[in-house]
Amino acid sequence: MGLVPYLGQVIANVNYRRPDYVSTNSSAASMDDLSQTESSGSAKSQGIPEALSFDRIINGGTCPPMTVREFMNYLEYIELAPENLQFFLWFRDYASRFEQSQSQSQSKSHNPFTTPPPTAQSEGPNPPPTDYKYESSNARSFDADDERPINLPVPVPVKSPITPEVGSVAPWEMDLEKDPSLTKVHSSVQASYRAIAHRTFTEAGLEIPPTNLPFRDEIDRIIAIYIASPAPRQLNLSFRLRHTFLIALTSTTDPSAFLPVVKSVESSLRFQAHPNFVRWSICNGNKPRQVFARGLGAFLIVAGLLYALLTTLSGMSRGWRAFAAFFWVLGISTLYAAWRGMCVVLHGLHHRHLRPWELWESEEEEICLEGVDHPSVPNSSSSPDEKQQDKADKKVKEDYPWVKKYEKRNIIRKIFDREVWVQEPALRQIQDVIFLQSLLFGVGVGGIATVVFLVVPGGGFF
């Protein structure tokens, strides 16, 4: 796109507004309230262009820092709740593999039930994914290319007491695709999965499902990790939805049995996690840089005010007072942009600060692979929200060495930390619009203040 058409688009969107922050409580709507959530989804999604939509990010149609990997990192390190996206991505992969295995079984025999499809413990490799057919009411169909970005790794795995040597898991869950030997499920680990799944069915007053169902071992693992109570990555499901889901799993492992749960998870991702991720990604500087930018903007405003007062009270001509506009325009623009989470200096280069976990990403990945056999055991017992948040913060500091390393960095080094180019064009355009807004706001307010001081008679005191 040429410069003139691009500037036209930026000016046309000058009234742009960032997505509002959506709290977890406001997005935790039950399935009964899902229709109301969907009806308000358009309002919540204001400020999110089509190029940064949820579907585009999931399908790999975006560039850093708006890819699935960054989305997962945001949920992992900022929201401290990556389980919804992990489960959603697993289901897409599972639905494709299930359909492929069913079609292969039917091609071998007229009776597909005589030879069950391979389970998660099969020695042969999983068949390649095909078109994603099991779409919910909020999602559109995905083609085979959609599965590629899902294999992006997450730097730090989510550790749990039942995953000491977890294998047969998706790469986005454990980041073990570099070492295929680590993706094998040990019999003792699978036995623990099965025991937890059986206990979950028993506590719900349901019969234990037969073991000859396709992908039964993998479903046991999913129940143990996401559905059991307590579970290391337990999904936030209502009692009725969870019970209905378990009833369906007693007789089938077909992906259609997951649709109510997937619909709830997808709703939370679309209307809470995704808008918050876009809002957070617009900020191109870290917190120390934002505080520094606000302080710089306030300093320029005060400097302009002092200059205007001195020139007004002195015997200097009125023309000298106009130079105060230079300080006011720069100060107000810088302060406005910092209030939106942007640093105008970084934006001038279309750069952003590296996230704290990105600074030591390669080192963290080595720690992940070395510590697979000895994970931490978090306490997953139920507790109030405040205690749960404290435990989550403590777990982050214990599991992620970069937290302590970043806290020890000098404040000056944090302000002028390492930078990287913003590759996503849609995100750069949003930042250009915010920069234009800050510039116009600075010119408007600074111009009004300058006119006021110009019309005031001179004091002539010195």
Number of domains forming the structure of the chain: 2
Instruction: Kindly state whether residues 45 and 74 are assigned to the same domain.
Output: yes
Whether 136 is in a domain gets the answer yes
Average pLDDT of the chain to the nearest whole number: 79
Specify whether the CB–CB gap between 88 and 265 falls below 8 A.
yes
Closest CA to 279 of 21, 7, 80: 21
Instruction: Kindly state whether residues 273 and 295 are assigned to the same domain.
Output: no
Instruction: Kindly state whether residues 141 and 241 are assigned to the same domain.
Output: yes
Instruction: Kindly state whether residues 221 and 349 are assigned to the same domain.
Output: no
Q: Give pLDDT tens digits for 180-237.
A: 443 456 788 889 999 999 999 999 999 999 989 999 999 999 999 999 999 999 999 9
Average pLDDT score over residue span 14-30? 77
Residue type, 116: P
Whole-angstrom CA distances from 200 to 208, 225, 229, 240 are 9, 11, 7, 14
Beta-carbon contacts of residue 177 (< 8 Å; ≥ 6 apart)? 151, 153, 171, 183
Asked if the model's pLDDT at residue 166 lies above 80, the reply is no
Whether 66 is in a domain gets the answer yes
Residues in the chain: 462
Whether 346 is in a domain gets the answer yes
Whether 393 is in a domain gets the answer no
Instruction: Kindly state whether residues 332 and 271 are assigned to the same domain.
Output: no
For residues 163 and 189, give the distance between their C-alpha atoms in angstroms, rounded to a whole number: 7
Asked if the model's pLDDT at residue 40 lies above 50, the reply is no
Average pLDDT score over residue span 133-155? 37
Tokens representing residue 82 in the block = 């990556």
Instruction: Kindly state whether residues 87 and 170 are assigned to the same domain.
Output: yes
Looking at residue 329, what is its pLDDT? Answer: 97
For residues 344 and 322, give the distance between their C-alpha atoms in angstroms, rounded to a whole number: 24
Sign of the alpha-carbon torsion through 123, 126, 127, 133 = positive
Looking at residue 34, what is its pLDDT? Answer: 47
Whole-angstrom CA distances from 426 to 203, 231, 431 are 49, 38, 9
For residues 142 and 135, give the distance between their C-alpha atoms in angstroms, rounded to a whole number: 8
Asked if the model's pLDDT at residue 32 lies above 50, the reply is no
Whether 394 is in a domain gets the answer no
Give the number of other CB atoms < 10 A from CB of residue 26: 13
CB-count exposure of residue 228 (10 Å: 0-12, 13-18, 19+)? buried
Specify whether the CB–CB gap between 172 and 391 falls below 8 A.
no
Asked if the model's pLDDT at residue 125 lies above 60, the reply is no
Whether 275 is in a domain gets the answer yes
Alpha helices by DSSP H, listed for 314-424, are 324-339, 344-348, 356-359, 361-370, 385-399, 401-407, 411-415
Residue that finishes a domain, picked among 282, 298, 314 = 282
Whether 383 is in a domain gets the answer no
Looking at residue 188, what is its pLDDT? Answer: 87
Lowest mean pLDDT among 59-68, 104-113, 412-421, 448-457: 104-113
In the beta sheet, which residues pair with residue 420? 352
Looking at residue 119, what is its pLDDT? Answer: 43
For residues 435 and 336, give the distance between their C-alpha atoms in angstroms, rounded to a whole number: 9
Alpha helices by DSSP H, listed for 120-186, are 171-174
Looking at residue 45, what is its pLDDT? Answer: 52
Asked if the model's pLDDT at residue 413 lies above 70, the reply is yes
Instruction: Kindly state whether residues 260 and 297 are assigned to the same domain.
Output: no
Instruction: Kindly state whether residues 177 and 310 are assigned to the same domain.
Output: no
Beta-carbon contacts of residue 450 (< 8 Å; ≥ 6 apart)? 308, 321, 322, 324, 325, 328
Whether 350 is in a domain gets the answer yes
Give the number of other CB atoms < 10 A from CB of residue 96: 24
Write the DSSP symbol of residue 125.
P
In the beta sheet, which residues pair with residue 289? none
Specify whether the CB–CB gap between 31 and 238 falls below 8 A.
yes
Domain residues for 292?
287-354+418-455
Q: Give pLDDT tens digits for 353-388.
A: 999 999 987 555 544 434 433 333 334 344 444 445
